[in-house]
Amino acid sequence: MSVSTAFFVALVGLAHAGTPPGAPMFRFEASSQITQLVLSPDGRRVAYAFYEASDEGTYALEVRRVAGGRPVRLVPNRRYAPCVCDGGIGAVTWLDNRRLRVVAGFETDGGGAGETLITFDGWTGRLLYIRDVRLTEHGVRSVRPERQAAQRALLRAFSKLPPGFDLQTSLDLGVDVDARTHLTSIDAGDAYEHGLYAVDLVTAKARYLAPLDDRFLLGGARVGNAFVVLLEHDGAFEFARVAGGRATTIAAVDLEDTQVELETLQLAGRTWLFVANTGGAAGEVRAGRLYETDGHSVRPAPGYDGDVYAASSDASGRVVAISRGSTAEIVRP
């Protein structure tokens, strides 16, 4: 899975630090550990994926109203039923408050790659659209159509990179911290100072932020007027605050490997960072961790300092969904 999915602008109120966000307003159970948990933008529905034991072994995708009621089954579908060998159901996102998108990668017989795009009606479970998109190794068509404008802006921002360094300008090596800002690192060639950059995806302008000193960018979030980034160097992981031309370490992080994703959650003015372990064998669910940050420090999220398997927030920062295994809970302050 790519670095992918749901970054929001937020500043943590210091008065909230160290206090739980509130009691869960709704809980539900799946038949096994929940691998993805994604709230709709309005926070009224939650989509969740989990492994479902059967003769073939497959994954299931369902949607529930947070007000309660029976789940709506989307996957398996007669046109899309992922097995264990697929390594997961694909990346799940909401296109709006009703339509749900699943993006599943595939390899072609000739060694190429592509993505299957599946769109569902999240209210009824009906499959609306399915399409295979072939991807190129580099360039604008290395990403699916709705991301090509962002990829084109990234290529324009670093147009002076010499031939052979195409990977430096791949969207998948950086992270979108909001709708128009992409963080990425450049460490090749002489045309650009090596280090961390913020790229405006509308104007295609790159702004140098700080040197990374051989640290590798894994994820990041905007917190107030600064960025908090997750970095790796020689198997050690850390959170760093990026401001004033420096990337300053503010917390060490204990992770199993470099296959991680960082998602930003917002709840009542507080910023949480969910670090998800995505490595492992097909069908294996790896626990992640949930942290809270004010942009100057990072600490375990109060009330959630153990294993967390999936987490997300709605677009307005009023609702958070968290899974600590096969149980999911919806939290609203």
Indicate if the pLDDT at residue 19 is higher than 80. no
Condensed to tens digits (0 to 9), the pLDDT of residues 30-66 reads 988 888 899 999 999 999 998 876 655 578 899 999 9
User: Hey, what CATH topology would domain 14-331 get?
Assistant: Methylamine Dehydrogenase; Chain H (2.130.10)
Q: In this predicted model, which residue has the larger pLDDT, 121 or 6?
A: 121
Higher pLDDT, 12 or 162: 162
Residue 75 binned pLDDT confidence (cut-offs 50, 70, 90): confident
Cis? peptide before 82, omega within 30° of 0:
no
Shortest CA distance to 130 belongs to which of 75, 178, 174, 181? 75
Pick 167 or 174 by higher pLDDT: 174
- β-partners of residue 156 are none
pLDDT for 125 equals: 94
* pLDDT band (50, 70, 90) for residue 14: very low
Structure tokens at 238: 């850390």
Tell me, letter by letter, the H, E, C secondary structure of 66-116: CCCCCCEEEECECCECCEHHHCCCCEEEECCCCEEEEEEEEECCCCCEEEE
pLDDT band for 4, please (50, 70, 90 cuts): very low
Answer yes or no: is pLDDT of 284 > 50.
Answer: yes
Q: In this predicted model, what pLDDT tens digit does every residue of 103-160 receive, in sequence order?
A: 888 777 776 788 888 999 999 999 999 988 888 888 888 888 888 999 999 999 999 9
Give 220-284 as a DSSP string. EEEETTEEEEEEEETTEEEEEEEETTEEEEEEEE--S-S-EEEEEEEETTEEEEEEEE--SSTT-
Question: What's the pLDDT score for residue 13?
Answer: 35
Answer positive or negative: Cα dihedral of 197, 182, 205, 9: negative
State the pLDDT at residue 50: 87
Residues 6+ apart with CB under 8 A from 281: none
Q: Write down the pLDDT at residue 281.
A: 47
CB hemisphere CA count around 295 (13 angstroms): 16
pLDDT digits (tens, 9 = 90+) for 297-318: 999 888 887 788 888 899 888 8
- Per the model's pLDDT, the better-predicted residue between 309 and 166 turns out to be 309
pLDDT at 262 over 60: yes
Contact 229, 220 (CB under 8 A): yes
11 pLDDT exceeds 70? no
| Mean of pLDDT values over 13-21 | 46
- The pLDDT, as a whole number, for residue 278 is 61
CB 120 within 8 A of CB 129: no
Comparing 333 with 9, the larger pLDDT belongs to: 333
**How far apart are alpha carbons 71 and 44 in whole angstroms?**
13
| Coil, helix or strand at residue 16 | helix
The string of pLDDT tens digits covering residues 194-210 is 999 999 999 999 999 99
| Helix, strand, coil shares, percent, the chain, to 5 | 10, 45, 45
Length of the chain, please?
A: 333
Q: Which two tokens stand for residue 242?
A: 């990026």
Residue 12 is predicted with a pLDDT of 31
Confidence band for 95, pLDDT divided at 50, 70 and 90: very high
Alpha carbon distance 29, 14 (integer Å) = 34
Average pLDDT score over the chain: 83
**What percent of the chain lies above the pLDDT cut of 70?**
84
Looking at residue 81, its pLDDT comes to 67
Can you give the pLDDT at residue 146? 86
What contacts 131, CB < 8 A, 6 or more positions away? 116, 117
The alpha carbons of the chain give a radius of gyration, in whole angstroms, of: 20
Closest CA to 178 of 5, 3, 317, 320: 5
Euclidean distance between CA atoms 253 and 274, whole angstroms: 12
CB 93 within 8 A of CB 176: no
**pLDDT for res 121:** 97
Mean pLDDT of 230-242: 92
How many other C-beta atoms lie within 10 A of the C-beta of residue 128?
Answer: 13
Token code pair at residue 54? 């059967």
Contact 292, 12 (CB under 8 A): yes
pLDDT value of residue 41: 95
> Domain map of the chain by residue range?
14-331
